[in-house]
Chains A and B, each alone.
Chain A
């Protein structure tokens, strides 16, 4: 009887508890993170980012600087559960979409912060890469890394060297 209850607890109640805690904490952390990202994005609006590979003819810029920003975000217990269910039936993996969005936006923000630190206000040839980090075997928690990088310039300081 007691053994049965303990088994039941570990097999059912504990995962359920982890799910609830994972969901509540995960949701709070995610909301706060997105709020912070939005605020910093707004604050960095004057640092522009483009995927252009060449400097447009009409743009006068300073000497280039390589800038990069990366962010690693971990999945929570609830997201992993939601994703494992989705993994069985297919469809939009909503749980991971928000994870990658946060990682990508955070990486962009950090890249722009780096650009601003260097006195730049435009980043060209911006590239985004993501990596999945999964340490510790099959059931390990998944983290994602997003890396944003590009070439930063200061506008309006043409020295004729770049073109």
Chain B
């Protein structure tokens, strides 16, 4: 027997310890979990940090984006004026930071909707404005939207989405900061706030309305009107798609009124007929 031999080594010493598909499945799961964690961290981190940005920066960000202003007829200009006057009164009873200002926009559109967005802009569609038959309900609406801006909800929402999409972009190698920023434009009208943010905005608006009129009567007409519209059309108006939980919100406001002993028998201020 030769003392020099090369015994055949067993297979699988250098490779093949795991099926390639199992290997890929495992690493995909880990990478996926890490990616989700990064996205969530970016999203919530941005939402947390966004209110620390000066309001002036937020305003500057929207300045370069498509103008919300539209051509207005004389009648519409009158409505815009009406809106501005009431908004100024609501602002006067809310505690706005000194560097913050609110710009309201009356838009002739049948949508039953209104929203607050970046840069202190509040957009009210005629479709909603006309259904509100008392000034108190309109003040409640404006108070709600202005409260979102005071609470920095739009910048929270936009920053969260922007940062999350940036992380995705960086990871998948398509990071386009300016593209993402431009996409914020389309985000302007589609910001959705959390239930807690809506609840807070409701409460802030309720305090403002009570302070403005000395009573709380008529404020919840905003939501009662929504309910009536939902029943009439069989589907909720656009405003409710971003403002869910109608019954719970009316109930919360009623409770707030009881807890603070707000008067519920005051005169509602009628709105000018058109």
Contact = CB atoms under 8 A, between A and B. Distances in A.
Contacts of A136: none
Interface residues of B, number: 19
Interface in B3-21: 4-6, 8, 11, 14-18, 20-21
Given A45-B6, A82-B20, A89 B30 contact: yes
A91 interface: yes
A86 B27 contact: yes
Nearest to B174: A11
A86 B23 CA distance: 9
Given A23-B21, A92-B17, A97-B14, A85 B8 contact: no
B55 to A, nearest CB: 37
Interface in A20-51: 23, 27, 38, 41-42, 45, 48-50
B27 A122 contact: no
A89 B31 CA distance: 7
B23 A82 contact: yes
A46 to B, nearest CB: 9
B8 A122 contact: no
Nearest to B27: A85
B28 interface: yes
Nearest to A104: B14
B14 A94 contact: no
A59 B23 contact: no
16 contacts: A27-B20, A38-B11, A42-B8, A48-B4, A50-B6, A78-B20, A81-B24, A82-B20, A82-B24, A85-B24, A88-B31, A91-B27, A92-B18, A94-B18, A97-B14, A100-B15
B170 to A, nearest CB: 13
A38 B14 CA distance: 15
A92 B24 CA distance: 12
B190 interface: no
B34 interface: yes
Q: Which 9 residue pairs across A and B have the least CB separation, nearest first?
A: A97-B15, A98-B15, A85-B27, A101-B14, A101-B15, A82-B24, A94-B23, A48-B6, A89-B30
- Interface SS of chain A: helix
Interface of B: 4-6, 8, 11, 14-18, 20-21, 23-24, 27-28, 30-31, 34
B20 A23 contact: yes
Given A41-B8, A98-B16, 5 more contacts: A48-B4, A85-B31, A94-B20, A97-B16, A104-B14
Contacts of A79: 20
A23 B19 CA distance: 12
Contact of B14 (A59, A100, A122): A100
Interface string A67-82: 0000000000011011
Contacts of A104: 14
Contacts of B28: 85
A109 to B, nearest CB: 12
A100 B27 CA distance: 21
A45 B5 CA distance: 9
Contacts of A101: 14-15
A63 interface: no
B64 to A, nearest CB: 27
A104 B4 CA distance: 22
A95 interface: yes
Contact of B4 (A82, A94, A98, A122): A122
A82 B24 CA distance: 5
B73 to A, nearest CB: 36
A98 B30 CA distance: 22
B23 A95 contact: yes
Nearest to A99: B15
Contacts of B21: 23
A104 B13 CA distance: 13
A69 to B, nearest CB: 15
